[in-house]
Amino acid sequence: MRIAIASDHAAIDLKAELREWLIEQGHEVADLGPDTTDSVDYPDFGYKLASVVADGTAERGVALCGSGIGISISVNRNPAVRCALVSEPLSASLAREHNDANCIAMGARLTGSDMAKACLEAFLTTDFAGGRHQRRVDKLSNPET
């Protein structure tokens, strides 16, 4: 799977660990930055991540910041992207199954690397259930539906 990953300065270490883990799992990973712990603005990286998921360059996205909250808000500004803030595997699985989430966000200050990997595993291996959920997902991108 083609996966894009982006963070802010607070999540550099978790991003690097998850990037390597995803590659070991056989995924193609695009690291959208940043590359240092110098202070950056998380919306810049959230918007970049949303753009590559929305245009199909990446099939899924992983957004990381200190809490996961700010970057998830910025990713969700793109109507073609559904980014769920998760902290454990059940949330990650339900985000895919019920909401057809194409991105997840996690907080590096709140989620350890083992839990983050478990969340990613659930997110990447769960299919969208469709059915009654499709109508609701359609409304997420088009409120007039």
| CA 105/CA 86 separation, integer angstroms | 6
Residue 70 annotated in ligand binding: yes
Question: Nearest Cα to 50, choosing from 63, 66, 41, 69?
Answer: 63
pLDDT for 89 equals: 98
Please report, as a single letter, which amino acid is at residue 125. Answer: T
Helix and strand totals (H; E) in the chain: 6, 5
pLDDT, tens digit, 9 for 90 and up, residues 105-145: 999 999 999 999 999 999 999 999 888 898 888 888 877 76
pLDDT for 145 equals: 63
Residue 114 annotated in ligand binding: no
pLDDT, tens digit, 9 for 90 and up, residues 20-45: 999 999 999 999 999 999 999 999 99
Q: What is the mean pLDDT of residues 41-62?
A: 98
Residue 9 annotated in ligand binding: yes
Superfamily name with CATH number, domain 2-141:
Sugar-phosphate isomerase, RpiB/LacA/LacB (3.40.1400.10)
The ranges assigned to domains in the chain are 2-141
Residue 133 annotated in ligand binding: no
Give me the phi and psi of 7, to 5 degrees please. -150, -175
Longest dimension (CA), the chain: 45
Active-site positions read 65, 98
